[in-house]
Amino acid sequence: MSEPLHYKSVAELSSELSSKKISSVELTQAVIARTKAVDAKVRAFNSFDEADALAQAKASDERRSSAKTLGVLDGIPIGFKDVISVKGQPLTASSNMLKNFVSPYDATVTQKLKGVGAISWGRLNLDEFAMGSSTENSAFGQTHNPWDLERVPGGSSGGSAAALAAGEAPATLGSDTGGSIRQPAALCGVVGLKPTYGLISRYGLIAFASSLDQIGPFTRTVEDSAILLNAIAGHDPMDSTSFKTEIPDYRAELKKRKGPWKLGIPKEYFGEGLDPEVTKAVEDAVSFYKSKGCEIKEISLPHTKYAVGVYYIIATAECSSNLARYDGVRYGHRSKDANDILDLYFKSRAEGFGAEVKRRIILGTYVLSSGYQDAYYVRAQKVRTLIRRDFLEAYKDVDAVITPTSPTPAFKAGEKAANPLAMYLCDVYTIGVNLAGLPGLSIPCGYSKSGLPIGLQLIGKPYGESELLSIAHSYEQEHTWGTRHPNIEAQKGAL
């Protein structure tokens, strides 16, 4: 039995568009219909422009009919996390601070996707300014996990992961500062790729922590990740942190590299707090690789225990600096009852920012304050270097590292809301990748007894996306975890 259009992979849809089995208008109509049918329950979207999407689809069909197609992604709708600029569309960061803001320009990744004919499809919900691990911190309401509407989809890119899992888009883009692509991908049962820092331009991405943020794709398959990465990777002079490196054809490389590989298992990632069902699923995946001739080696990443602390010093420091621009003067929310300029600053920020954003601004301002900067921020940067060295040392002996993506499957909405520290620990396995600037990928590797997805994280060498994708692809080819879909219709909508 064939999958409905809204659940087909990008590769499948591209093939059907090429053979004229379907049109882009038909595909886009199917995606719109699916979104209208389920998003009242899932709440993945902040907004979408149906007429604009159909106009883009019509233009794609016209190109195809005149043999001027722009490539694999031509005519395929791609959803955008609402921190990535799309000209003429809302850019809210799921915050009241930017509630009515419309982007005046395209992000570089948006330009690249438009250049290959992809359809810009909607604005996806997130934790406000990408600060959170559950998408409960949005000013526009929380997103629900399609597998269990009473549970969270992860965060901060929860809308991007949930929309894909629910069939509301064939692929989406998110951003990852400390796990914000990989963790929701794991909790929603999809593939999520956080590329090497500098591989994809951050121009047009609303900044949270500039030395950590990276844009990446959510897809149904590893092959689709390679397709999206082909489209959006590459040097950009508009981003000073963009790295000049040769960009291979990731999709072609996927089929060339066969292994076997040397894979490292870090002992620090399999300790206290790891759910037994997650442990079992990851161990089964390791056993699979071993059966395929891969050499499995226990490794140590000794500075892992400092990663969460280091991350929440560096990320909050950069956040407090980046968010200083939202002052009620130039753009964004402006308080209506301020008496003077100082009052305008205070009231605009107090009214515009939510509780978690305020918490992180305060933390960041503290660690950068006079007398504390050396004790906290400077020391954290030194330990960050040690964390990166741990990984680079390990890569002298192994090709990639295998870990769980998240310590548990999706937790219930509200479960960790009163305990910020418990929420921060959700990213314990993903944070080190951002601190070290490495590529990380989450793929589905099983389900809990209650039917919740479990993710396997693969961590690669700097700019080693080709090999990382191949390692993941070899697992995916012999497992069907990613082909399952949630039964949203049978669930009552969450409050």
The answer to whether residues 91 and 102 touch, using CB atoms and an 8 Å cutoff, is: yes
Residue 335 annotated as catalytic: no
| 59's tokens | 């233009």
Q: At what angle do helices 24-42 and 158-165 cross, to 10 degrees?
A: 120
| 426's tokens | 């959700």
Catalytic-labelled residue, pool 81, 194, 347, 416: 81
| 384's tokens | 């960050």
The answer to whether residues 242 and 201 touch, using CB atoms and an 8 Å cutoff, is: yes
| Residues pairing with 123 in the sheet | 47, 80
Q: CB-side exposure of 474: number of CA atoms within 13 Å? A: 22
Q: Where are the beta strands (DSSP E) in 407-485?
A: 440-447, 453-459
- Residue from 405, 406, 401 nearest 471 by CA: 401
| 345's tokens | 């600053």
Is the N-terminal amide bond of 248 cis, ω within 30° of 0? no
CB-CB neighbours of 295 under 10 Å: 14
Residue 156 annotated as catalytic: yes
Alpha-helix residue ranges (DSSP H) falling in 116-272: 158-165, 182-188, 222-232, 250-256
Catalytic-labelled residue, pool 133, 134, 156, 225: 156
The residues, any chain, with a CB within 8 Å of residue 81's CB and separated by 6 or more, are 124, 126, 157, 159, 160, 172, 173, 174, 175
Query: What whole-number distance in Å separates Cα of residue 207 and Cα of residue 391?
Result: 26
Catalytic-labelled residue, pool 180, 242, 320, 406: 180
Query: Dihedral, CA atoms, 28, 31, 34, 35, nearest 10 degrees?
Result: -100
Residue 9 annotated as catalytic: no
Query: What whole-number distance in Å separates Cα of residue 165 and Cα of residue 182?
Result: 14
Cite the active site residues: 81, 156, 180
